[in-house]
């Protein structure tokens, strides 16, 4: 099962987080999170920085093996499949135009 469909909520310890969410760069900040004896480095960016800034513990999702963690709404509204289909269609159009010119 997918980590988002399983919905296993766990408490994760925040070891280190960006000091100020307003001043993180384009690449975004990172947070060190400890869960199940492992330390994870997660990119927070502007979207998730406020979830970890100044906190000791936060709620996250994990998989059945407890080997991965994600923020609660990290993949909730992602539409990456739309971008993938768009790129495929673009590639087909370019290939067709190249083939047609020969």
- Single pTM value for the model: 0.67
Number of H helices, E strands in the chain: 3, 5
Who wins on pLDDT, 4 or 88? 88
Who wins on pLDDT, 15 or 29? 15
Token pair for 53:
């800034």
CA–CA distance, 39 with 35 (Å, rounded to integer): 7
List the chain domain ranges: 3-74
Write the pLDDT tens digit of every residue in 34-87.
999 999 999 988 888 888 988 999 999 998 888 889 998 887 555 667 888 889
Q: How many residues are present in the chain?
A: 102
């Amino acid at each position: 099962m997918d980590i988002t469909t399983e919905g296993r909520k766990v408490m994760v310890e925040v070891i280190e987080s960006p000091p100020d969410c307003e001043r993180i760069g384009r690449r975004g900040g990172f947070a060190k999170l400890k869960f199940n004896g492992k330390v994870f480095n997660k990119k927070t960016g502007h979207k998730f920085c406020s979830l970890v800034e100044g906190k000791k513990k936060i709620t996250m999702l994990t998989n059945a093996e407890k080997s991965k963690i994600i923020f609660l709404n990290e993949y909730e509204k992602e539409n990456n499949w739309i971008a993938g289909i768009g790129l495929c269609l673009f590639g087909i159009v370019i290939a067709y135009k190249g083939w047609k010119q020969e």
